[in-house]
Amino acid sequence: MNDENTGAGGTMSSSRLAQFEAEVAKLKVTGGGANPERLGSRWGIGLTIVGFVVAVIAWFSAKDSADVNTILRSEIFAFIGVGIAVVGIVIWVRNSLTRYMRYWIIRLVYEQREQTEQLIQALRDNK
Protein backbone atom coordinates (compact mmCIF):
# COMPACT_ATOMS: atom_id res chain seq x y z
CA MET A 1 0.00 0.00 0.00
CA ASN A 2 2.45 2.57 1.12
CA ASP A 3 5.78 2.19 -0.43
CA GLU A 4 8.26 3.51 2.04
CA ASN A 5 10.04 6.79 1.44
CA THR A 6 7.90 7.57 -1.56
CA GLY A 7 6.35 10.90 -2.28
CA ALA A 8 2.98 12.37 -1.54
CA GLY A 9 0.51 10.00 -0.04
CA GLY A 10 3.09 7.27 0.17
CA THR A 11 4.43 8.03 3.62
CA MET A 12 3.35 9.79 6.74
CA SER A 13 3.30 13.50 6.07
CA SER A 14 6.82 14.71 6.74
CA SER A 15 5.60 17.58 8.93
CA ARG A 16 3.63 15.18 11.14
CA LEU A 17 6.62 12.85 11.33
CA ALA A 18 8.87 15.77 12.28
CA GLN A 19 6.35 16.88 14.90
CA PHE A 20 6.20 13.33 16.24
CA GLU A 21 10.00 13.16 16.45
CA ALA A 22 10.01 16.46 18.33
CA GLU A 23 7.33 15.19 20.75
CA VAL A 24 9.28 11.97 21.32
CA ALA A 25 12.49 13.93 21.95
CA LYS A 26 10.66 15.87 24.69
CA LEU A 27 9.55 12.71 26.52
CA LYS A 28 11.10 12.21 29.91
CA VAL A 29 12.53 8.73 29.97
CA THR A 30 12.44 7.47 33.51
CA GLY A 31 13.10 3.83 32.79
CA GLY A 32 10.17 2.82 34.98
CA GLY A 33 10.17 -0.75 36.19
CA ALA A 34 7.85 -3.45 34.93
CA ASN A 35 5.99 -3.50 38.25
CA PRO A 36 6.86 -0.41 40.33
CA GLU A 37 4.45 -1.21 43.18
CA ARG A 38 5.88 -4.67 43.68
CA LEU A 39 9.38 -3.19 43.79
CA GLY A 40 8.15 -0.54 46.25
CA SER A 41 6.56 -3.16 48.48
CA ARG A 42 9.79 -5.15 48.55
CA TRP A 43 11.77 -2.04 49.51
CA GLY A 44 9.23 -1.36 52.26
CA ILE A 45 9.49 -4.88 53.66
CA GLY A 46 13.30 -4.77 53.42
CA LEU A 47 13.55 -1.45 55.27
CA THR A 48 11.17 -2.68 57.98
CA ILE A 49 13.30 -5.77 58.58
CA VAL A 50 16.54 -3.76 58.60
CA GLY A 51 14.99 -1.22 61.03
CA PHE A 52 13.85 -3.91 63.46
CA VAL A 53 17.22 -5.69 63.29
CA VAL A 54 19.03 -2.41 64.10
CA ALA A 55 16.62 -1.75 67.01
CA VAL A 56 17.02 -5.29 68.41
CA ILE A 57 20.83 -5.14 68.16
CA ALA A 58 20.76 -1.76 69.95
CA TRP A 59 18.51 -3.19 72.65
CA PHE A 60 20.88 -6.13 73.31
CA SER A 61 23.84 -3.76 73.27
CA ALA A 62 22.20 -1.56 75.91
CA LYS A 63 21.08 -4.53 77.99
CA ASP A 64 24.58 -5.98 78.30
CA SER A 65 26.24 -2.68 79.16
CA ALA A 66 26.55 -0.78 82.45
CA ASP A 67 28.19 2.23 80.77
CA VAL A 68 25.77 5.15 80.46
CA ASN A 69 27.41 6.44 77.25
CA THR A 70 27.05 3.05 75.56
CA ILE A 71 23.43 2.85 76.68
CA LEU A 72 22.75 6.34 75.26
CA ARG A 73 24.42 5.44 71.95
CA SER A 74 22.40 2.23 71.78
CA GLU A 75 19.25 4.20 72.50
CA ILE A 76 19.98 6.53 69.59
CA PHE A 77 20.58 3.50 67.34
CA ALA A 78 17.36 1.97 68.57
CA PHE A 79 15.44 5.13 67.66
CA ILE A 80 17.09 5.20 64.22
CA GLY A 81 16.15 1.53 63.76
CA VAL A 82 12.54 2.13 64.76
CA GLY A 83 12.47 5.16 62.42
CA ILE A 84 13.73 3.06 59.49
CA ALA A 85 11.12 0.40 60.29
CA VAL A 86 8.33 3.00 60.37
CA VAL A 87 9.45 4.44 57.01
CA GLY A 88 9.53 0.89 55.62
CA ILE A 89 6.01 0.19 56.85
CA VAL A 90 4.76 3.45 55.31
CA ILE A 91 6.38 2.60 51.95
CA TRP A 92 4.92 -0.90 52.07
CA VAL A 93 1.41 0.32 52.95
CA ARG A 94 1.52 3.02 50.27
CA ASN A 95 2.57 0.59 47.52
CA SER A 96 0.21 -2.17 48.64
CA LEU A 97 -2.69 0.29 48.66
CA THR A 98 -1.79 1.61 45.20
CA ARG A 99 -1.66 -1.93 43.92
CA TYR A 100 -4.98 -2.80 45.50
CA MET A 101 -6.66 0.42 44.27
CA ARG A 102 -5.40 -0.19 40.74
CA TYR A 103 -7.02 -3.63 40.62
CA TRP A 104 -10.12 -2.27 42.34
CA ILE A 105 -10.65 0.51 39.80
CA ILE A 106 -10.08 -1.86 36.87
CA ARG A 107 -12.64 -4.21 38.40
CA LEU A 108 -15.10 -1.34 38.81
CA VAL A 109 -14.67 -0.27 35.20
CA TYR A 110 -15.26 -3.81 33.96
CA GLU A 111 -18.27 -4.34 36.22
CA GLN A 112 -19.80 -1.05 35.13
CA ARG A 113 -19.25 -1.90 31.50
CA GLU A 114 -20.78 -5.34 32.04
CA GLN A 115 -23.83 -3.86 33.79
CA THR A 116 -24.35 -1.28 31.04
CA GLU A 117 -24.19 -3.98 28.41
CA GLN A 118 -26.71 -6.10 30.34
CA LEU A 119 -29.01 -3.08 30.68
CA ILE A 120 -28.78 -2.33 26.96
CA GLN A 121 -29.44 -5.99 26.16
CA ALA A 122 -32.49 -5.98 28.48
CA LEU A 123 -33.82 -2.82 26.84
CA ARG A 124 -33.33 -4.37 23.40
CA ASP A 125 -35.09 -7.58 24.47
CA ASN A 126 -38.10 -5.62 25.74
CA LYS A 127 -38.52 -3.70 22.51
Partner 1 sequence: MTSAVAASPARDASSGVPVLQLAAVRAGYGRIDVLHGIDLDLRPGEVFALLGPNGAGKSTTLAVSSGQITPTSGGLFLCGRDVTGVSPDALARAGVCLIPEGRGIFPNLTVAENLRMATYTGRAYHHVLDLAFAQFPRLGERRKQTAGTLSGGEQQMLSMARALATEPAVLLIDELSMGLAPIIVEELYDHVRRIAASGLSILIVEQFAHEILGLADRAGIMLHGRLLHTGPPASIADELADAYLGADHAAPRVDSSQ
**Binding residues vs partner 1 (CB under 8 A):** 1-6, 9-13, 16-17, 19-21, 23-35, 112-113, 116-117, 119-120, 123
Q: How many CA atoms lie within 13 A of 11 on its CB side?
A: 10
Closer residue to partner 1 (CB): 26 or 63: 26
Handedness of CA 108, 111, 113, 116 (dihedral sign): negative
Based on CB atoms, which residue is closest to partner 1, 40 or 51? 40
In the complex with partner 1, the residue whose CB is nearer, 64 or 125, is 125
- Our CB check for partner 1 shows the closer of 27 and 68 to be 27
Distance of closest approach, residue 91 Cβ to partner 1, in angstroms: 20
CB of 125 to partner 1, least distance (A): 13
Q: Residues, the chain, total?
A: 127
> In the bound complex, what is the minimum distance in angstroms from residue 13's beta carbon to partner 1?
6
Please report, in angstroms and rounded to a whole number, the separation of the first and last CA atoms in the chain. 45
Least Cβ distance, residue 88 to partner 1 (angstroms): 23
Cβ-contact 76, 54 below 8 angstroms: no
d(CA 50, CA 83): 11
- CA angle, residues 56, 62, 63, in degrees to nearest 5: 90
